[in-house]
């Protein structure tokens, strides 16, 4: 007995419970692990042939590569803690810094230049620094300097990153430095980004410093804030995290099943019935699974279809939180001209200047990719699509999408890449959720969560609720799993 809780009775209660997690992305797998660790019988049902969601792996030109998320943000330490729990800490790697950081392409009158270091979301602390002035010119630097001469920002609160930067520093800083970062990282315009979420502490620093550039210098002295600088990956690929989660869940007695789409969620007294569909070409027939509680860890559309009938119209009445569609085209090329990584680890683009929004030179960024590729072979990832426009690859065949990506890569890297140099390619499409930094997202998702939680012993996790990125999804999944677990184990 501890603090009035009978631990033996609690353990027995946990062993009697059954939870079904619908969806085998990272959110679903993390939730399932939280249940399995307490001895609760948990079953994960994933509609696709493989678990992972945005973490995808595949073979391109004989190389096993990440085809989706290739890294995780280190902020919060939640993903690192999970990796340590799964025994993968020794395989955590950081981007290669010797090749330089990211560049910006599409700068009027300049072309391409290294993205200045030491800023926050592309906002410079010193507009007259050589690397900043190279991008925004003397006119842009003097306009940005007015930030120090204008009335001080004593309140220091801004709800829109774009409006803040435009009013204080001018359009050149906004268009050439900040917009490429938010487009490449968040697939969104700076006007739609909440600085409180995207750059925690910025508004407070503005109040303290009285200017935006002063606030950036203040924050930059406290942390490394260059875009991409606070990320890490796993040697061999981030998909290893998925495999480790599945292995741990099964080791603890849980079950992870793939190619099992869920058609309907039905109330059964105090519990639930999960009705699964049969897939053509598979031996499995349609079936039903009884559960004491359910966690829906799917995309937003599927989650709404499953849960809405049980919320008395509350969830149906809320507008969707759907985000942009993004295509990532992975190219493997043989090119001696790329050996010296002419554009560092990758390139962001000034919105409207190119059809691609960003490029990652993966074999320059990650040593394990370079070693696997071998001498003279390079891996390039080209991204298309933002919140304001469909991917330029939309409707193209895989071969034509690869040719477009090769053309964009040639322009962004400043190196001619030909079809003859292309050893292999692969295109992956993602219905990306909104980033947590989008203005109004927190209010939208709070309302959606409240509606979902009106259904007894139902939870929902995933990027559409937490915001995109493992640093958002992982802690949210742990918290929601704990809520459902407590409600189930301590139910009257």
Asked if 61 and 423 touch (Cβ cutoff 8 Å), the reply is: yes
Band (pLDDT 50/70/90 cuts) for residue 229 is very low
> Do 125 and 209 lie in a common domain?
yes
Render pLDDT for 32-61 as a digit per residue (tens, 0 to 9).
999 999 999 999 999 999 999 999 999 999
> Do 313 and 459 lie in a common domain?
yes
Q: Whole-model pTM above 0.85? A: yes
Q: Of 192, 220, 248, which residue is a domain's last?
A: 220
Residue 332 has pLDDT above 80, yes or no: yes
Mean pLDDT of the 302-328 span: 92
> Do 167 and 203 lie in a common domain?
yes
| Range of the structural domain that residue 452 is part of | 7-49+258-320+436-489
- Which of 214 and 15 is assigned the larger pLDDT? 214
Render pLDDT for 355-389 as a digit per residue (tens, 0 to 9).
999 999 999 999 999 999 999 999 999 999 998 88
> Do 332 and 380 lie in a common domain?
yes
- If we measure between CA atoms, which residue out of 169, 474, 190, 464 comes closest to residue 301? 464
Percent of the chain with pLDDT over 70: 93
Report the CATH number at residue 199: 1.10.3110.10
> Do 316 and 455 lie in a common domain?
yes
Q: Total domain count for the chain?
A: 3
> Do 133 and 208 lie in a common domain?
yes
> Do 273 and 216 lie in a common domain?
no
Report the CATH number at residue 78: 3.90.660.20
Render pLDDT for 65-98 as a digit per residue (tens, 0 to 9).
999 999 999 988 999 999 999 999 999 999 998 8
- 397-403: list long-range contacts, CB under 8 Å, 24+ apart: 398/425, 398/426, 398/427, 399/425, 401/327, 401/329, 401/425, 401/427, 402/329, 402/331, 402/427
> Do 307 and 447 lie in a common domain?
yes
CA 462 distance to own-chain centroid = 11
Whether residue 108 lies inside any domain: the answer is: no
> Do 442 and 480 lie in a common domain?
yes
> Do 312 and 330 lie in a common domain?
no
Residue 1 has pLDDT above 50, yes or no: no
CA dihedral 276, 278, 283, 287 (to 10 degrees): 30
Summary mean pLDDT of the chain? 91
Beta bridge partners of 43: 20, 255
Report the CATH number at residue 301: 3.50.50.60
Whether residue 375 lies inside any domain: the answer is: yes
Whether residue 84 lies inside any domain: the answer is: yes
């Amino acid at each position: 007995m501890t603090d009035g809780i009978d631990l033996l009775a609690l353990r027995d209660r946990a062993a009697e419970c059954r939870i079904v997690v619908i969806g085998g992305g990272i959110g679903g797998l993390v939730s399932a692990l939280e249940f399995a660790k307490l001895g609760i019988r948990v079953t994960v049902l994933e509609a696709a042939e493989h678990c992972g969601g945005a973490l995808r792996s595949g073979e391109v030109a004989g190389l096993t590569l990440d085809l989706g998320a290739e890294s995780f943000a280190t902020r919060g330490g939640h993903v690192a803690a999970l990796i340590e729990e799964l025994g993968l800490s020794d395989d955590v790697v950081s981007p290669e810094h010797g090749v330089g950081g990211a560049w910006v392409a599409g700068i009027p009158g300049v072309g391409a230049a290294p993205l200045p270091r030491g800023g926050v979301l592309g906002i410079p602390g010193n507009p007259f620094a050589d690397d900043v002035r190279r991008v925004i010119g003397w006119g842009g630097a003097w306009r940005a300097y007015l930030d120090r001469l204008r009335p001080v920002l004593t309140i220091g609160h801004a709800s829109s990153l774009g409006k803040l930067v435009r009013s204080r520093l001018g359009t050149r800083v906004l268009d050439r430095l900040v917009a490429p970062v938010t487009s490449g990282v968040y697939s969104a315009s700076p006007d739609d980004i909440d600085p409180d979420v995207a750059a925690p502490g910025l508004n407070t620093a503005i109040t303290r410093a009285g200017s935006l550039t002063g606030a950036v210098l203040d924050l930059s002295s406290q942390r490394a804030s260059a875009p991409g600088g606070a990320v890490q990956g796993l040697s061999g690929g981030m998909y290893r995290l998925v495999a480790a989660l599945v292995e741990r869940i099964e080791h603890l007695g849980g079950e992870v099943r793939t190619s099992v789409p869920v058609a309907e969620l039905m109330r059964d007294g105090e519990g639930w019935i999960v009705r699964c569909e049969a897939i053509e070409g598979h031996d499995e027939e349609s079936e039903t699974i009884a559960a004491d509680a359910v966690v829906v860890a799917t995309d937003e559309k599927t989650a709404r279809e499953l849960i809405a009938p049980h919320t008395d119209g509350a969830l149906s009445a809320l507008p969707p939180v759907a985000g942009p569609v993004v295509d990532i085209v992975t190219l493997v090329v043989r090119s001696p001209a790329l050996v010296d990584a002419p554009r560092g680890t990758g390139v962001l683009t000034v919105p409207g200047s190119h059809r691609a929004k960003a490029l990652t030179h993966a074999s320059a960024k990650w040593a394990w990719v370079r070693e696997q590729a071998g001498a003279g072979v390079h891996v390039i990832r080209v991204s298309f699509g933002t919140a304001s426009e469909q991917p330029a690859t939309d409707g193209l065949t895989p071969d034509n999408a690869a040719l477009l990506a090769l053309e964009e890569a040639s322009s962004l890297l400043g190196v001619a890449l030909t079809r003859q140099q292309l050893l292999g390619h692969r295109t992956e499409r993602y219905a990306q959720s909104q980033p947590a930094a989008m203005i109004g997202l927190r209010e939208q998702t709070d309302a959606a969560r409240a509606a979902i939680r009106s259904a007894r012993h139902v939870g929902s996790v995933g990027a559409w609720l937490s915001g995109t990125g493992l640093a958002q999804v992982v802690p949210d999944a742990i918290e929601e799993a704990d809520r459902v677990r407590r409600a189930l184990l301590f139910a009257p």
